């Protein structure tokens, strides 16, 4: 699949440090829908150049994703030049400006697309414009950086609710897939991960950023609709085959209901 199609349908995004090429193959075998080589947070300043080279070598044979360093940093221009040689998903951290993202998009290789990581107050406010940049295929929520800026805990769901909702609404208004939720930092707590995924799903987020391979199957399991939901969705789609509004088990079935059922079936088939 092309990078835009991979990103648009992905449920899980797994980060792998650019300084650990020995882990690249393992990340690719994790079952994650998209692997992103990280040149930003996981890489110390002294190792940026080597990480960039490792990422470029890998991209030469695989259309993966890369999280470059933010615009305005010392490493941004070189990162962008390196990834622009190959079709891939380019994850832009600290995404705050639709204009800047548009300029980045013009430098990408044909077939590439942008994943905007929104993790600042300015980014949340600008989310509707960011989501409408043609090259932006998906939004992702950077809960830890935003929480630090706001002076709250990233695990405080009440404090983070507005920001998550803002990304969901911006994505829907721009006709993008639902955004990726931020990471669950405790990689050993599967119950917490399940609860986080469930919470995000209720708000309209449709994917999850992962920092360890063991998180991937848990997220996939939690995002998969239940058997009862899949049965319901199948009945809705079948009942609506003739078009128009119909009644199913006493409930009205119209276009929005049918679209929800189809999304549910796609999620179930993709598990």
List, in order of start, the domains of the chain with CATH numbers: 3-223 (3.20.20.60), 227-269 (no CATH)
Query: Residue 37: phi, psi to the nearest 5?
Result: -75, 125
The CB density around residue 49, as the number of other CB atoms within 10 Å, is 14
168 Cβ contact list (under 8 Å, min separation 6): 178, 179, 203, 204, 205
Any idea which of 55-59, 154-158, 226-230 has the lowest mean pLDDT?
Answer: 226-230
Buried b (16+ CB within 10 A) or exposed e, 209-218: bbbbbebbeb
Distance CA 207, CA 171 (A): 13
Token pair, residue 69, equals 């360093």
**Any binding-site annotation on 175?**
no
Q: How far apart are CA 93 and CA 170, in angstroms?
A: 17
Was 260 annotated as part of a binding site?
no
4 C-beta neighbours (distance < 10 Å), count: 17
Distance from C-alpha of 197 to C-alpha of 184, rounded to nearest angstrom: 9
Residue of 90, 130, 145, 134 lying closest to 112 (CA atoms): 90
SS3 of the chain: helix, strand, coil, percent, to 5: 50, 15, 35
- For 171-212, write each residue's pLDDT tens digit: 999 999 999 999 999 999 999 999 999 999 999 999 999 999
CB-based contacts of 176: which residues, under 8 Å, 6+ apart?
Answer: 8, 131, 136, 137, 138, 139
The pLDDT, as a whole number, for residue 270 is 44
Contact 198, 173 (CB under 8 A): no
For the chain, how many residues are written?
A: 271
What is the arithmetic mean of pLDDT over 227-234? 66
For residue range 126-140, what is the model confidence (pLDDT) as tens digits? 999 999 999 999 999
pLDDT of residue 7: 95
pLDDT of residue 254: 66
Beta-carbon count within 10 A of 98 CB: 18
C-alpha to C-alpha distance for 140 and 91, rounded to whole angstroms: 9
CB atoms within 10 A of CB 16: 27
Query: Global pTM?
Result: 0.87
Three-class secondary structure of residue 182 per DSSP: coil
Structure tokens at 48: 């940026």
Residue 221 marked in a binding site: no
247 confidence band (pLDDT: 50, 70, 90): low
């Amino acid at each position: 699949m092309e990078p835009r199609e991979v990103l648009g349908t992905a449920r899980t995004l797994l980060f792998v440090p650019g300084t650990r090429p020995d882990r690249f193959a393992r990340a690719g075998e994790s079952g994650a829908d998209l692997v992103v080589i990280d040149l930003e947070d996981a890489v110390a300043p002294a190792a940026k150049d080597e990480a960039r080279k490792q990422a470029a070598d890998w991209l030469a044979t695989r259309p993966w994703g890369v999280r470059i360093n933010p615009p305005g940093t010392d490493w941004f221009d070189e990162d962008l030049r390196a990834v622009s040689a190959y079709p891939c998903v380019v994850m832009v951290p600290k995404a705050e400006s639709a204009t800047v993202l548009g300029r980045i998009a013009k430098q990408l290789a044909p077939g590439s697309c942008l994943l905007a990581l929104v993790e600042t107050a300015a980014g949340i406010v600008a989310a509707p414009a960011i989501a409408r940049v043609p090259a932006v295929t998906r939004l992702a929520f950077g809960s830890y950086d935003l929480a630090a800026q706001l002076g709250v805990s990233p695990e405080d769901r009440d404090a983070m609710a507005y920001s998550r909702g803002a990304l969901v609404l911006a994505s829907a208004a721009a006709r993008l897939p639902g955004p990726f939720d931020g990471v669950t930092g405790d990689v050993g707590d599967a119950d917490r991960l399940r609860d986080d995924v469930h919470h995000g799903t209720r708000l309209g987020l449709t994917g999850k950023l992962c920092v360890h391979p063991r998180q991937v199957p848990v997220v996939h399991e939690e995002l998969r609709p239940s058997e009862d939901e899949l049965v319901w969705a199948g009945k809705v789609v079948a009942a609506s085959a003739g078009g128009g509004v119909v009644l199913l088990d006493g409930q009205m079935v119209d276009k929005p209901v049918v679209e929800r059922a189809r999304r549910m079936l796609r999620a179930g088939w993709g598990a």
